[in-house]
Amino acid sequence: MADRHGGVLFGLGSAILFGLGAPVSKLLLPDAGPLPLAGLLYLGGGTAFLFVRRSRTEAPLSKADAPILAGAVLAGAALAPPLMLWGLTRVSGLTGSLLLNLEAPFTMALAMAVFGEHLSMKEGVAAALIVAGGAIVGAHGSQGGLAGAALGVLAIAAACLCWAIDNNFNARLSMKDPVQLLRIKMLCAGALNLAAAAIFGQRVHGARVGVEALLLGSLSYGMSFYLYTRAQRVLGAARQGALFAVAPFAGAAVAIPLLGDRASFTDVAGAAVMAAGVLVLARARHAHLHTHAEVTHDHLHVHDAHHQHAHEAVAEPEPHSHLHTHGPLTHEHPHVSDAHHKHRH
């Protein structure tokens, strides 16, 4: 349970840092087009971790991970940020932040419908509360003339769908070295967006804007992604997707003083509902008799009930990573839809 509570804290930290990115990016957009700004944000995220030493005990990425990694880079890093930033040029910072609520239900729906994750009844109620809270908050934004900014709304919605795809791909990679994963994803996406910016003639006006974008990217993209990956290890994509619904509220709260947008009663009411959902999700327990099929994979682990295997050589101190096989196992304990608990209900 301690690991799970830590996962919730990582997930909330990731959501808050990411949520701050939308209103601050809105301030930078007049001096930078969506493509170069997206490139700098991701380069900032990747560069911040270039000098962070990789753990020698983490499992490295392999050639077999390349297709999933490529899909995550394309959907979540190369497509989603320019779409969101382009949408922000057509809606207010508050409205744009609130529209990011769409990422949570998209992520949960894909996780359960396509990737075999599950939510218990209590966890489903928690997720519904978080999404409902976001919808209540979003009701204020929908009164501000969104009909005239329909393309902006659609662009941000498309960005949320791309991030939902990315979240579920990333869940397949979350057991691998998070620093290595972050560097590859961020730097590749930054390079792709800057190349596209050069092709379409978009540029950043002023060195100050470039530096600010790099600094923002190091926190709202780099550190946020690192915490997100750590949370997914423990919680799975569906639960972390539900927690990430806090991000739009964090962005909306910052947009009020930063951009001069005004909050309403619905904003406060929605925040209370979202907080209730997070509390229910953090306290939810899911336990039943379940069977683990045999599986072979590589990740950081200790020799707990799920990792009883022999070593051909002298084992390194725990935790350690190596290719290992889990034999069939039937038992009962509290669990979530992590890499070891993809079973039928």
Q: Are residues 113 and 47 in the same domain?
A: yes
> Per DSSP, what are the bridge partners of residue 287?
334
Domain shared by 160 and 21, yes or no: yes
pLDDT at residue 31, rounded to an integer:
93
Degrees, nearest 5: CA angle 99-238-270? 40
Is residue 121 in some structural domain?
yes
Is it true that the peptide bond before 105 is cis, omega within 30 degrees of 0? no
3-state class of 43 per DSSP? Answer: helix
Flag whether 103 is in a domain: yes
Is pLDDT above 80 for 270? no
**Pair 93, 23 in one domain:** yes
Tell whether 339 is covered by a domain: no
- The half-sphere exposure of 292 on its side-chain side, counting CA atoms within 13 A, is 22
pLDDT of residue 286: 53
Q: Calculate the alpha carbon distances from 297 to 174, 326, 340 in Å.
A: 13, 8, 10
Q: For residue 68, what pLDDT is reported?
A: 92
Residues 203 and 220 both lie in one domain: yes
Q: Note whether 309 and 183 are same-domain residues.
A: no
Is 300 inside any structural domain? yes
Domain check: are 71 and 210 in the same one? yes
What is the domain range of residue 301? 290-334
Average pLDDT in the chain:
78
The rounded distance, in Å, linking the Cα atoms of 200 and 235 is: 40
- Residue 164 maps to a domain: yes
DSSP three-state, residue 272: helix
Query: How sure is the predictor about 106, in pLDDT bands with cuts at 50, 70 and 90?
Result: confident
Judge whether residue 2 has pLDDT over 60.
no
Residues 232 and 326 in one domain: no
Query: Is residue 342 situated within a structural domain?
Result: no
Question: Does residue 144 surpass a pLDDT of 60?
Answer: no
175 & 316 share domain: no
Q: What pLDDT score does 288 carry? A: 46
Two tokens, residue 195: 């190349």
Q: For 22-31, 292-301, 333-342, which range has the lowest pLDDT when averaged over its residues?
A: 333-342
Q: Are residues 104 and 209 in the same domain?
A: yes
Instruction: Flag whether pLDDT at 208 surpasses 60.
Output: yes
Taking the C-alpha atoms of residue 190 and residue 195, their distance in angstroms, rounded to an integer, is 9
The pLDDT score that the predictor gives to residue 254 is 87
The verdict on 31 and 170 lying in the same domain is yes
Q: Which two tokens stand for residue 34?
A: 């969506």
Q: Which segments of 260-341 does DSSP mark as H helices, in order?
A: 265-283
Q: Residues 241-255: what's their mean pLDDT?
A: 79
pLDDT, tens digit, 9 for 90 and up, residues 273-307: 877 877 776 666 655 454 656 666 555 544 555 55
216 — pLDDT class (breaks 50, 70, 90): very high
Q: Are residues 253 and 309 in the same domain?
A: no
The answer on pLDDT for 341 being more than 50 is: no
User: Per-residue pLDDT tens for 28-45?
Assistant: 999 998 999 999 999 999
Interval 216-229 mean pLDDT: 92
Say if residue 255's pLDDT is above 50: yes
Average pLDDT over residues 187-203: 92
Distance CA 163, CA 76 (A): 5
Say whether both 187 and 294 belong to one domain: no
Could you report the per-residue pLDDT of 228-247, keeping only the tens digit for each? 888 877 776 666 767 777 78
Query: Highest mean pLDDT: which of 17-26, 232-241, 257-266?
Result: 17-26
Domain boundary among 250, 268, 287: 287
* Residue 335 reports pLDDT greater than 50: no
Helix (H) or strand (E) holding 199: helix 178-199
Number of domains making up the chain? 2
Q: Is residue 341 part of a domain?
A: no
Give pLDDT, residue 149.
64
**Percent of the chain scoring above 70 in pLDDT:** 71
pLDDT > 90: what percent of the chain? 26
CA 63 vs CA 66, 68, 69, 122, 230: distances in Å: 5, 10, 10, 39, 22
Assess if residue 345 is contained within a domain: no
